[in-house]
Amino acid sequence: MAGKERCAELHRPPASNFRFSTHVPPAAVALSIAVATAISIVSTSIWTFTGPSFAVDPSNTPNFNAEAKQAILSRCASLRTTPHPHDLFYSREVSDRFEPGTNATLIRNAIIFTGNGNGTDVIRGDILLDKGIIKGIGEISGRVIDNTPNLTTVNANGAWVTPGLGKYPVFIHILFA
């Protein structure tokens, strides 16, 4: 069987005794459009003249004093500011998400992606986490490790770690080739 004949056979609709009428009188189409248009005009007119009123009722408007107005305006202005950590963020001793009873953690022998240097800064070393805060990255002195109570040590064996990625304004775009 030739290619065109085979293609025509594959695209032929299945045989059926039921047939759709493909001829609709133009008058019926025009009448249907006219009736639908008339219904939409009438329903819109009824809703416009009898529907809800959007007029402002002066007796219903809130009366704000100067202090309340200033508070509202300052909240609106705060929506336009760039988010940043609060002033005491970097001097805090405990994270607000820290769960009491959680041990300090020392991750050893990691490849650490810091996000610095436009995403090109990679350090091989250790990470010390205590009370939900990153206390050290890279080479951490033995004195700091010895003075950290309830320390759990984990060997990363050269695995990649991205500590505090949410802390820095780091945006990583992964491009798939």
Residues 8-30, mean pLDDT to the nearest whole number: 62
Residues 69-79, mean pLDDT to the nearest whole number: 86
Task: Give the pLDDT confidence score for residue 19 in this predicted structure.
Answer: 56
> Quick one: tokens of 46?
């009824």
Tell me whether strands 104-113 and 160-161 are parallel, antiparallel or unpaired: parallel
Range list of H helices, 13-86: 26-50, 66-78
The yes-or-no verdict on residue 162 having pLDDT over 80 is yes
Residue 59 lies in a domain: no
DSSP state of 58: G
For residues 118 and 99, which has the higher predicted lDDT (pLDDT)? 99
Task: Give the pLDDT confidence score for residue 39 in this predicted structure.
Answer: 87
> Quick one: tokens of 39?
């219904």
For residues 82 and 108, which has the higher predicted lDDT (pLDDT)? 108
DSSP for 108-160, please give it: EEEEEE--HHHHT-EEEEEEEEETTEEEEEES--HHHHHTSSSEEEEE-TT-E
Percent of the chain with pLDDT over 70: 70
- For residue 125, name the pLDDT band (cuts at 50, 70, 90): very high
State the virtual CA torsion across 113, 115, 121, 124 in degrees, nearest 10: -20
Residue 152 lies in a domain: yes
pLDDT tens digit string along 132-159?
888 888 899 999 999 999 999 999 999 9
Task: Give the pLDDT confidence score for residue 84 in this predicted structure.
Answer: 76
Residue 135 lies in a domain: yes
Q: Give the DSSP H or E segment for 104.
A: strand 104-113
Helix (H, G, I), strand (E, B) or coil at 56: coil
pTM over 0.75: no
Task: State the residue range of the domain holding 115.
Answer: 102-161
Residue 120 lies in a domain: yes
pLDDT tens digit string along 46-71?
767 666 666 666 666 677 788 888 88
Residue 109 lies in a domain: yes
Backbone torsions φ then ψ of 69, nearest 5 degrees: -60, -40
The yes-or-no verdict on residue 173 having pLDDT over 50 is no
**CATH code for the domain of 150:** 2.30.40.10
Residue 125 lies in a domain: yes
Task: Give the pLDDT confidence score for residue 175 in this predicted structure.
Answer: 37
Length reported for the chain: 177
Domains in the chain, number? 1
Task: Give the pLDDT confidence score for residue 115 in this predicted structure.
Answer: 76
- For residue 14, name the pLDDT band (cuts at 50, 70, 90): low
Residue 167 lies in a domain: no
Task: Give the pLDDT confidence score for residue 18 in this predicted structure.
Answer: 52
What is the number of other CB atoms lying within 10 angstroms of the CB of residue 104? 18
Residue 18 lies in a domain: no
